[in-house]
Structure 1
Amino acid sequence: MRFTLDDVAYLRGAEGTHALADADGLTLTDARRVSDIASLRARFGDRTAVLVETTLLRRRAAAKFPDASNWLFTEEALEQSTAGAVAAHRALRLAGMPVHDVTCSLGTELAALKHLASEVVGSDLDEVRLAMARHNVAHGGAEVLLCRADALRPVTRGTTVIADPARRSAGRRTFHPRDYTPALDDLLAVYADRDLVVKCAPGIDFDEVRRLGFDGEIEVTSLGGGVREACLWSPGLSSRRVTRRATILDRAEEVTDAEPDDCPVAAVGRWIVDPDGAVVRAGLVRHYGARHGLWQLDPAIAYLSGNELPSGVRGFEVIAELGFNERTLRKELAVRDVGALEILVRGVSVDPDVLRSRLRLRGSQRLSLVITRIGTGSASRAVAFVCRPSR
């Protein structure tokens, strides 16, 4: 649904706050939704739609924000909003600086920045989102200045600029940085003389970003086992010699391309490690391997191996190595009484779900299967490693 300024004013007021508390007391599940909405409509009339939508959005947002139960959202803004832990990490890098979020939307970045930045300004063209941001950042921390402004028409001086351009158009996801709103090349041009931070989709083409003239650091961040975003940091905000960084928030670990990448290639050892997605996406597999004393199974494949498992990292202990052949695999897994099988694949065209069903597993044991390609040209071969996961 589309929220209005009147809706936001109602939800922020005492009457709306009490009504939201009542709505939150209902389950609003598929089985109960019709009757729950009817109950709300009998009490709150035309306000029912915004109450139900806000309650459901708050529940969806709980995984992103620890205080989502007090926030106001639109569905589209919630989908693009930065997870609280990612915003907090970025705010740490900007501690002590005056910062202007020129696409502040609901205020996710502002909420993290106001505890650390020396001054915080937020602006957006969407009046409804600005009104929601005013509510969301109202409590605790320093004051946040909010205004309605176009991101491509600067209204502050001397601030570090943060931008999170929209990556959807007419409900569809856009992939080319020139199709962002505002376009990435326009942002880079307008703020060429300013320290600039731009949040981008994790799948953004790094080469295309460089072709647009960006010469700073690209940071890829993961959280909860998934890659969340790629973030561009202008040269004045990045460390010397760093152009790529992988940040793994779950383990508070960072890897950069300024580190050694002397990672050899060798036969499989005791363990196989599938590096975090941020490391792979940032192109830092060799750097990560060198840091942890691991080696690659193949120079073109992201799997690493070693005889010791890095602390806190999930790995796969190799118990059998086979040429990739379904009949051979089926026999091997049957002998090992395997009934549940996690399948990881790199470099081989295999659908894990299809393969799992064709292996006809009937046992009681749980193992993992790592399938990859080793070698090139006529020496290339598909290999399957039967493994025991570390956890």
Structure 2
Amino acid sequence: MGYRFDLDDVAFLRSPSGRDAVAELSGRTLTTASRLADVAAARELAGERFAAAALETAVLRRRAQSKLDDCAEWLFTDDALQQATAGVVAAHRARRFAGRDVHDVTCSIGADLRALARVAARCVGSDLDPVRLAMARHNLDESRVPALVARADALRPVTRGTAVVADPARRDDAGRRKWSPADLVPPLDELLDTYSGRDLAVKCAPGLDFDAIPGDAEVEVVSLGGQVREAALWFGELAGSGVRRRATVLAGAGEAWTLTDAEPDECPVGDVRQWIVDPDGAVVRAGLVRHYAARHGLSQLDPRIAYLTGDEPPAGVRAFRVLEQGRYQEKALRALLRGHEVGRLEILVRGLDVDPDALRRRLKPKGGRDGTLVLTRVGDTAMAYLCRAERT
């Protein structure tokens, strides 16, 4: 769960001596092997009282570099950093609020609030945790973005006429994820009751039970760099007109595309063709596989499985050129891999109870070539497709 910061820790970390201590510690290796030496250095630099806070801050700042931009002087708690939105994703979501007055009612350490403040007309952030609020004030000052930060309960509105953003806590005290909307803190139904009639966005985990979401919401699933990062629920005028499900794929460097359930979803089911395409996880999680197939002229191998096939894959994706196909039988697969001299084997599985790592050990691939084995169920038959992965 990480170190539990208090307000005295935050005051020290914002002071010149605290800044210097963290800067010195940030230059160390900060590995498990160096832990004892790092602790000793922290005690010498920050004193016994603030050593743990300074060392934890140095560790968290290093972790944050891969998630947030321009955060070299930011303050974090471990939980807050885990739940903070990646900078690219936060900027994407903030665009819907451009030019509006916005209230982030669970602002935590200010990661989303910074993105909102950069595009909003006016921006307010609030939270119940005084330590996170103190960190948010510091972080916003460091980023030089204007936002009012105040202590307030998300379920007791303190603004009027603003669009509202909420990011309920999604882990219990033991750090386990919560998947039911009723288990969020605050619970989703209470947030919806509190802000009924207001334009509202609720950030949530992509594994949330979407069937429990009100039918007037737009559910957006977002991936970044090929990994599903989070989902957002949009209500009121923030929701897309006629849209209930959206997949947004962010590739970095400003590249992005989106797909919604307002698009056609007619696609055939048929035999494998030259290529197999595994849609981005955001498309799969948003339930838009057929819409993706229809957009790109692809077919489904099986109506229950997300693998698609076609003679020409979409541009800019990693697709799999089919070399051989047959029923899934390990003896036949060993011979197939030997025949194609595959030694470095990627195994992808949908619809079958197969452990890729265990199967790879049993197949014992040997050779100098790369290969991808796609395993799936087509009807009642377990099928195997030996492919070569290519970037189209």
Aligned match of 1:137: 140
Aligned match of 1:363: 367
Shift of 1:141: 5.2
Tell me the alpha carbon deviations over residues 37-84 of structure 1, each in whole angstroms, 9 at most, x when there is no partner.
212312321221111100001111111112232211000111111111
Report sequence identity in percent: 58
**Structure 1 unaligned spans of 5+:** none
Aligned match of 1:268: 272
**Structure 2 unaligned spans of 5+:** none
TM-score (norm 1): 0.96
Shift of 1:337: 1.1
Distance 1:87 1:39 in 2: 36
Aligned match of 1:319: 323
Aligned match of 1:70: 73
Shift of 1:115: 1.1
Instruction: Write out aligned runs for 1:146-157 (5 A).
Output: 146-157=149-160
Instruction: Write out aligned runs for 1:15-26 (5 A).
Output: 15-26=17-28
Distance 2:356 2:63 in 1: 29
SS where residue 366 of structure 2 aligns? coil
The answer to whether residue 386 in structure 2 is matched with residue 386 in structure 1 is yes
Distance 1:140 1:352 in 2: 45
Distance 2:68 2:32 in 1: 24
Distance 1:16 1:45 in 2: 10
Is 2:9–2:53's contact at 8 Å kept on the other side of the alignment? yes
SS where residue 45 of structure 2 aligns? helix
Q: Which moved more, 1:141-150 or 1:255-264?
A: 141-150
Aligned match of 2:233: 232
Instruction: Write out aligned runs for 1:177-188 (5 A).
Output: 177-188=181-192
Tell me the alpha carbon deviations over residues 12-37 of structure 1, each in whole angstroms, 9 at most, x when there is no partner.
12221111111112112222221232
Distance 1:39 1:346 in 2: 50
Is 2:21–2:45's contact at 8 Å kept on the other side of the alignment? no
Query: Residue type matched to 1:226 in 2?
Result: Q
SS where residue 252 of structure 1 aligns? strand
Distance 2:30 2:210 in 1: 43
Distance 1:230 1:146 in 2: 25
2:44 to 16, 32, 42: 42
Is 1:114–1:141's contact at 8 Å kept on the other side of the alignment? no
Distance 1:224 1:70 in 2: 26
Distance 2:42 2:302 in 1: 61
Aligned match of 1:79: 82
SS where residue 359 of structure 2 aligns? helix
Is 2:279–2:289's contact at 8 Å kept on the other side of the alignment? yes
Shift of 1:140: 4.8
Shift of 1:236: 1.5
Q: Which moved more, 1:11-20 or 1:309-318?
A: 11-20
Instruction: Write out aligned runs for 1:98-117 (5 A).
Output: 98-117=101-120
Query: Residue type matched to 1:24 in 2?
Result: S
Residues 206 and 298 of structure 1, relative CA distance in 2, 3 Å threshold: same
Is 1:279–1:288's contact at 8 Å kept on the other side of the alignment? yes
1:296 to 281, 292, 300: 300
TM-score (norm 2): 0.96
Aligned match of 2:224: 223
Aligned match of 1:191: 195
Query: Residue type matched to 1:132 in 2?
Result: M
SS where residue 38 of structure 2 aligns? helix
Q: CA RMSD in A?
A: 1.2
Shift of 1:173: 2.1
Is 1:216–1:233's contact at 8 Å kept on the other side of the alignment? yes
Is 2:198–2:236's contact at 8 Å kept on the other side of the alignment? no
Query: Residue type matched to 1:359 in 2?
Result: L
SS where residue 193 of structure 2 aligns? helix
Residues 39 and 235 of structure 1, relative CA distance in 2, 3 Å threshold: closer
SS where residue 91 of structure 1 aligns? helix
The answer to whether residue 335 in structure 2 is matched with residue 331 in structure 1 is yes
Is 2:25–2:41's contact at 8 Å kept on the other side of the alignment? no
Shift of 1:276: 0.4
Aligned match of 1:162: 165
Shift of 1:91: 0.5
Is 1:59–1:68's contact at 8 Å kept on the other side of the alignment? no
Is 2:74–2:142's contact at 8 Å kept on the other side of the alignment? no
Shift of 1:266: 1.5
Query: Residue type matched to 2:334 in 1?
Result: R
Aligned match of 2:63: 60
Distance 2:44 2:142 in 1: 33
1:350 to 354, 360, 363: 354
Query: Residue type matched to 2:7 in 1?
Result: L
Aligned match of 2:10: 8
Is 1:217–1:235's contact at 8 Å kept on the other side of the alignment? no
Shift of 1:252: 0.3
SS where residue 356 of structure 1 aligns? helix
